[in-house]
Amino acid sequence: MDSKRPTVVLGFLGVKLDDSRRDAKRWDHWRPSVDLCRHDDLVVQRFELLADSKHNSLARQVAADIATVSPETTVELRALDLVDPWDFEEVFGALLDFARAYPFAPEREDYLVHMTTGTHVAQICLFLLVEAGYIPARLVQVGPPARMNSSALGTYSVIDLDLSRYDKLAARFRRERDEHAHSLKSGIATRNTAFNALIERIERVALDSDAPVLLMGPTGAGKSQLARRVYELRHERRALAGPFVEVNCATLRGETAMSALFGHKKGAFTGAASDRPGLLRSADGGVLFLDEIGELGLDEQAMLLRALEEGRFLPVGADSEATSRFQLIAGTNRDLRAAVREGRFRDDLLARIDLWTFRLPGLAQRVEDIEPNLDYELQQWERRRGQRVSFSREARERFLAFATSPQARWPGNFRDFNAALTRLATLAHGGRIDTALVDEEIERLREAWGEAQRDSSVDALEELLGPAGVAALDRFDRVQLADVVSVCRAARSLSEAGRELFAASRARKSSSNDADRLRKYLARFGLEFERVRSGSTPR
């Protein structure tokens, strides 16, 4: 405490703890309100003792005993009459009125709120009023001495609710937060600012919400792995006890889809030789991850919506409903809003799962993370195979230079990346990847991506413009626009895409605004760069 300013204590009379007539064999007359005023290193100038009027006799006795052990302490008896000291609303209201009327002068006095006495409700209310700033004080907690006798002195500790003063505690919170985020990233020290901010947001949602989560992003961006990490984090925090159940909805078709998701009764259809619980019931109390949820049929979507809202559904061939409560994590690489407009996805289901939506960027949009992911994949190879593999310095530099360049499309994202490193590690003689192997792999990737780009050009345009929009284009515009879209998706910015697309004309001119030129070209088709890059359909 500041020795230059008087110390004022505010606290409740301990109707039981402060009563000297209590069982001497148990407490030996230790009374917290009196004991607080006995410490040489904590001189209390004034004690504001809050008490119900019916306990005035005890309050006066405590005041007299404080005067005996600490003559410099003035005790002010403050009447606080409560009908029910365990009624939260009444206690909080009475204390709030007291705090608003009290002439606090923090520039002249130091205030302590005594937290040892009073009902638990009173203690909680005092804590809240201090935390909210209605009472400009710190908290003080006292404890009995290790050995009970009439002269033994108890202990006290002062607690400041400003956590910035608790460096160790704050550091522990930061470490725990970083560990959660590190876990969600599979232990990879990613460097991309936007991706790290996304992971922090997902971590907060994972810890505080059991609502559906929608993970959007291209194939191979890591949706499935992230969903499992979210489950592991929630399971570790005991937020759920059930299992993690995963299914790719693209593998579910027709009647088998209903059976797989919702289960069936024996004899419900040909081949149903026994009862089947279904994935929803298997996920009871846990997490159900439906990857590529946009591939579900409309009937399955309707039943899934009811299961999410009511926790009930009807298995195939059953007369009675089954129940299951689970958290849904859905994944998709499609624009579900476009699917709603085209009648392929229910708008009410999208509204239900769209509370927490996160778009995972592709690998080409996270070039800063390619190097740490390279190290991670090599560590995973060593763990699985028990064999250490490394790059020569020149080979590593050459591979990273290509992997982070605009020419590296990574259309399959981490699946492509993992496959490339698997091939390199498998062919490395003596566990060493040299430049010849890297050059061979780069050439193989270029050839594969060239074929993939030609095969996917129409798909990319349909994703942006819809089938009708593509059909309305002349072949000349369709081919040209497909190449522009491909370059935009590989580039990190509008300017970078413009430089690649208009390199020749820029070389012939002293100056050229490539970004503005590209922006105007895309606008001809109703497109914007960010939407082209992310693959979302314009609204």
pLDDT for 181 = 72
Q: Is the per-residue pLDDT at 521 higher than 90?
A: yes
Over residues 101-118, the pLDDT tens digits come to 999 999 899 999 999 999
pLDDT for 173 = 60
Q: Which residue has the higher pLDDT, 319 or 329?
A: 329
pLDDT for 166 = 58
Q: Is the per-residue pLDDT at 91 higher than 80?
A: yes
pLDDT for 267 = 81
* Highest mean pLDDT of the ranges 161-175, 284-298, 494-508: 284-298
* CATH superfamily ID and name for 171-359: P-loop containing nucleotide triphosphate hydrolases (3.40.50.300)
Over residues 357-372, the pLDDT tens digits come to 999 999 988 999 999 9
Q: Which residue has the higher pLDDT, 493 or 172?
A: 493
Over residues 332-343, the pLDDT tens digits come to 998 899 889 989
- Among the CATH numbers 3.30.420.40, 3.40.50.2000, 3.30.1360.70, 3.40.50.10770, which is that of 7-161? 3.40.50.10770
515 contacts: CB under 8 Å, gap ≥ 6? 494, 495, 498
Mean pLDDT of the chain: 87
Which of 100, 301, 69, 311 shows the shortest CA–CA distance to 210? Answer: 311
- Which of 13-17, 265-269, 520-524 comes out lowest in average pLDDT? 265-269
pLDDT for 151 = 66
Q: In what order do the strands lie in the sheet with 74-79?
A: 74-79, 44-51, 7-12, 110-114, 138-143, 155-159
200 contacts: CB under 8 Å, gap ≥ 6? 177, 181
138-143 vs 322-323, strand pairing mode? unpaired
The arithmetic mean of pLDDT across residues 165-179, rounded, is 63
pLDDT for 202 = 93
pLDDT for 2 = 47
Q: Is the per-residue pLDDT at 424 higher than 80?
A: yes
Over residues 24-37, the pLDDT tens digits come to 444 456 899 999 99
The CATH architecture to which 364-451 belongs is Orthogonal Bundle (1.10)
pLDDT for 65 = 92
Report residue 538's pLDDT band, with 50, 70 and 90 as the boundaries: very low
The arithmetic mean of pLDDT across residues 389-406, rounded, is 94
* Domain spans in the chain, listed from the N-terminal domain onward: 7-161, 171-359, 364-451, 473-534
pLDDT for 483 = 86
| % of the chain beyond a pLDDT of 70 | 90
Over residues 200-259, the pLDDT tens digits come to 999 989 888 899 999 999 889 999 999 999 999 888 888 888 999 999 999 987 768 899
Q: Is the per-residue pLDDT at 386 higher than 50?
A: yes
Q: Is the per-residue pLDDT at 512 higher than 90?
A: no
pLDDT for 185 = 84
The arithmetic mean of pLDDT across residues 496-515, rounded, is 79
Tokens read off for 498: 């413009």
**Cα–Cα distance measured from residue 34 to residue 70, given in angstroms and rounded to the nearest whole number:** 9
Do 7-161 and 171-359 share a fold? yes
pLDDT for 539 = 39
pLDDT for 454 = 52
Using CB atoms within 10 Å of the CB of residue 260, give its burial: 0 to 12 exposed, 13 to 18 middle, 19+ buried.
buried
pLDDT for 178 = 66
